Structure 1
């Protein structure tokens, strides 16, 4: 009988805390928190959309949404998330469906972990 091995998908997300701190210094606590919260809400929506576009085979919409994720993630210091979303765009551009499936799974994982990490940073009062 064949044995199935389940691989643990555990990688640390990278946040640019300095970028967040600069945002807070530049805009003040209230405005920066508002921007970060709105960006996080938008990222959560975009992550769900990119997954839905993938399931529906809508590559053009998926590419557009992934590029939006890159822009939003970079704005609030989610460098790893921005990089993985960029990888998804490259997979789409090269029409590499196998790599796209793997990158999409990583994008969703990284997105969820990045959102959690930012919430935890906010709880520590940046």
Structure 2
């Protein structure tokens, strides 16, 4: 008898809360909220563009979008997302398509989780 197990992939997304506090301290609460909101929108769009470039099989655009995503994520203290975006870009540059498929899947999971977590932090009074 064959048994099939379903494995769920779950990984915590690390966010540097001190970085967010620094942004708020430097810009003030209102301006920081606006900047963080715009950054979240840009990261969501860039995440989507990275995944779309992968689906189209365009390594050059994967690298470009993953690089932009990693820089935005790093600036917002989204450490795990920045690291995974760097890994995606590296796989695309090496044209290691097996590893690229795995890291893009991880990028989607971590990206969605990170963006949701940061949005929730932003909404918390």
**Which interval holds the TM-score relative to the shorter structure?**
over 0.9
Length-normalised TM-score, structure 2: 0.95
Corresponding residue number in structure 2 for 1:47? 47
Length-normalised TM-score, structure 1: 0.94
Q: Deviations over 1:58-80 (max 9, x none)?
A: 11011100000001001111000
Separation in structure 2 between the aligned mates of residue 55 and residue 19 of structure 1, nearest angstrom: 33
- Of residues 45-54 and 13-22 in structure 1, the stretch that sits farther from structure 2 once superposed is 45-54
Q: Deviations over 1:39-90 (max 9, x none)?
A: 1001111111111111111110111000000010011110000000000011
- Whether 1:31 aligns to 2:31 is yes
Corresponding residue number in structure 2 for 1:14? 14
How far apart are residue 2 of structure 1 and its match? 4.1
Does structure 1 conserve the Cα–Cα contact (< 8 Å) formed by 2:59 and 2:93? no
Separation in structure 2 between the aligned mates of residue 6 and residue 67 of structure 1, nearest angstrom: 33
State the Cα RMSD in Å: 1.1
Unaligned ranges ≥5, structure 1: none
Corresponding residue number in structure 1 for 2:65? 65
Question: How many residues in Structure 1 have an aligned counterpart in Structure 2?
Answer: 125
Corresponding residue number in structure 1 for 2:108? 108
